[in-house]
Amino acid sequence: MLPFFDELWYNVQTMKKDSLPNRRARAYGMQTSKLSKTELFEKVSIPRALAAMGIPTIISQLINLVYNIVDALFIGRTGNTYMVAATTVTLTLTMLNVAFSNLFGVGGGSLIARLMGQRRDEDGRKVSAYSIRGALCLGLGYAAVTGIFVEPILRFLGASDATVGFAKQYTLFVIVIGTTPTILALTLAHLLRNTGYSSQASLGLSLGGILNMALDPLLMFVILPKGQEVTGAALATMISNVFSCGYLLFAFRKAARRAPLSLRLGEARGLAKEHKKSLFAVGVPSAVLTGLFDVASVCVNKLAAAHDDLVLAAFGIVMKVERIPNAVNIGICQGMMPIVAYNYASGNRTRMQAAVRTARNYGLIVSGVCIVLLELLARPVTNLFLSTSTEDPAKALATIGFAVAFLRVRCLAAPVQLLNYHTSFSLQAIGNGRYTMLHACVRELGIYIPLMYVLDKLFGQMGLAAALPVGEGLAAVFALWLLHRALRKKSER
């Protein structure tokens, strides 16, 4: 397992000394001119290949996580619990951007990686054009629906009279105006990553995150008047997402000279019916999985809001902190996915299964370390998200108390969440949409959501917090059985 972390350290130490291709080539013991995407997928050792694909993705995930957390941190500096609760409500709407991008980004990207393994690059270009066109249509449709029904949607998500005004401010800029470039940027990143351009995809998303962190304090506390902090955070997010989209379009166009990618939307018309079917077979379950995660978040918000707005704000803080291990683990799984897809399509099952095992082991190590850190640092971490020296310190202290208790319970879910993510990405990589959908439905609809209502009824707000580790643990058992069954069937065939 050490080569993965050696590679991370090597990249950090030499970041300013040499170009990325040369650094990576030397890490593999190859000349830059001879290192191709085919060699990366077929010949480089699994730990090194996972490092090359996974490290940029992990960095991107962490930077984007940081900028989402920074929004909450700056809003929390106001000491206004209702502003914090409002951003918790809108989190579901922003996560739907991820779900919609997964439909064409994960579905199309996984298919392109398999087509590359079969040396069918022309079909891959048609898939990429079709995916981009689909992402644009989805973004415009989602923005229109949200703009028309904004207040009923926010009320359904748990907004109260005290929080709905702030939630509207955030939704207007981030969703109604900014959702189309956001969905397009995420889709482009998926397509780039699955064709071997993980660094370019991650750089585009990371630059947007860095810009967001710079704009947050400027817009929230300097340019806009007091009371408009949520609007400032929303504007910063929207501008950064537009910037990411612009950079990724540039990187995509450049990569298309060598990879099976295309920005010519006219090529989408020539996509074969079988490829559309394969795209949606993976893309729809991936989108549904993220969508069901959002449904679960809505349920958490509504149950928490039924207790108190302070409990809702506390869950909002916890759900941001617990994304730290998730971000690293998702980065590892996204790095694994094109390697698995390529080698599955090319028939190299030994290398495919080695990538699956290695990625799972890395994720479990990360999860274990994060549990220890979050248990030890629960209070100082949650203190960062809400000031106790402004407006109403009693409410702020109560909110932090709730958040500490919830975090120490929910962080225990990290290892079993990794197993669920890992299974989902592995199934998507081999094109098994049926099992991906089954896993998503059982995980969220069959186990987690019913559990949160039962445990909340029996044990109150702490039962609601405990539903995550219990539900994810039960789902992980089912996931491991499902993945074993899927790989065994593929081997037999």
- Structure token pair of residue 216: 């947050």
State how far the Cα of 239 lies from the Cα of 208, in Å rounded to an integer: 8
Helix%, strand%, coil% for the chain, nearest 5:
85, 0, 15
Residue 361 pLDDT: 93
Q: 71-80, 307-316, 418-427, 449-458 — which is least confidently predicted?
A: 71-80
pLDDT of residue 31: 35
14 compared with 451, residue with greater pLDDT:
451
Contact of 410 with 430, CB cutoff 8 Å: no
Average pLDDT over residues 36-48: 80
Res. 7: pLDDT tops 60: no
Residue 242 binned pLDDT confidence (cut-offs 50, 70, 90): very high
Q: How confident is the model at residue 68 (pLDDT cuts 50, 70, 90)?
A: low
pLDDT tens, 392-437?
677 778 888 888 999 999 999 999 999 999 999 999 888 888 898 9
Which pLDDT score, from 0 to 100, does residue 491 have?
62
For residue 205, the model assigns a pLDDT of: 85
CA 135 to chain centre: 17
Q: Mean pLDDT of all residues in the chain?
A: 83
Give the closest residue to 198 by CA, choosing from 164, 127, 248.
248
Token output for 334: 């996204």
Q: So what's the pLDDT on residue 54?
A: 83
In sequence order, what are the residues at sequence separation of 6 or more whose Cβ sits closer than 8 angstroms to the Cβ of residue 43? none
More confident residue, 24 or 345: 345
For residue 331, what pLDDT is reported? 86
Two structure tokens written together for 441: 């439905």
Confidence band, pLDDT 50/70/90 cuts, at residue 85: confident
Q: What is the pLDDT of residue 388?
A: 64
Q: What is the mean predicted confidence (pLDDT) over 252-269?
A: 86
H helix runs in 229-308, sequence order: 229-255, 273-307
Contact call for residues 394 and 304 (beta carbons, < 8 A): no
With a cut of 60, say whether residue 442 has pLDDT above it.
yes
Angstrom CA distances, 58 to 139, 351, 366, stand at 25, 22, 12
**Residue % of the chain over a pLDDT of 90:** 30
- Cα separation of 452 and 458, whole Å? 10
Cβ neighbors of 192 (< 8 A, separation 6 or more) are 198, 200, 201, 204, 248, 251, 252, 255, 261
Cα–Cα distance for residue pair 165/163, rounded to 1 Å: 6
The domain spans of the chain are: 36-492
Q: Specify the pTM.
A: 0.74
- Structure confidence at residue 468 (pLDDT): 94
User: For position 297, what pLDDT does the model report?
Assistant: 82
pLDDT band at 226 (very low <50, low <70, confident <90, very high): confident
Q: Quick one: pLDDT band at residue 14, thresholds 50, 70, 90? A: very low
CA distance 455 to 465: 9
Please compute the mean of the pLDDT values over residues 247-260 and round it to a whole number. 91
Q: In angstroms, rounded to a whole number, what is the distance separating the alpha carbons of residues 322 and 324? A: 5
Q: Nearest-CA neighbor of 283 among 95, 479, 108?
A: 108
Which of 9-18, 159-168, 381-390 is the least confident region? 9-18
For the segment 152-170, the average pLDDT, to the nearest whole number, is 84
Provide the 10 A C-beta neighbour count for residue 144: 13
- Residue 36 or residue 129, greater confidence: 129
**For 201-220, what is the mean pLDDT?**
86
Q: Report in angstroms the alpha-carbon separations of 412 from 322, 456, 465, 474.
A: 10, 18, 11, 13
Asked if 205 and 123 touch (Cβ cutoff 8 Å), the reply is no
Phi, psi of 211 (to 5 degrees): -60, -40
Q: What would the mean pLDDT of 202-216 be, rounded to a whole number?
A: 86
pLDDT at 25: 40
- What's the chain's Rg over C-alpha atoms? 22
Residue type, 210: I
Residues 356, 337 contacting (CB under 8 angstroms)? no
Q: Is there a contact between 184 and 263 (Cβ–Cβ < 8 Å)?
A: no
pLDDT in tens, 455-486: 999 999 999 999 999 999 999 999 999 988 88
Does pLDDT of 18 surpass 60? no
41-201-359 Cα angle (round to 5): 45
d(CA 185, CA 74): 25
Provide the Cα torsion 139, 144, 150, 154; round to 10°.
Answer: -30
Winning range, highest mean pLDDT, from 14-23, 200-209, 369-378: 369-378
Tell me what the mean pLDDT of segment 355-370 comes to.
92
**How far is Cα 219 from Cα 234, in angstroms, rounded to an integer?**
9
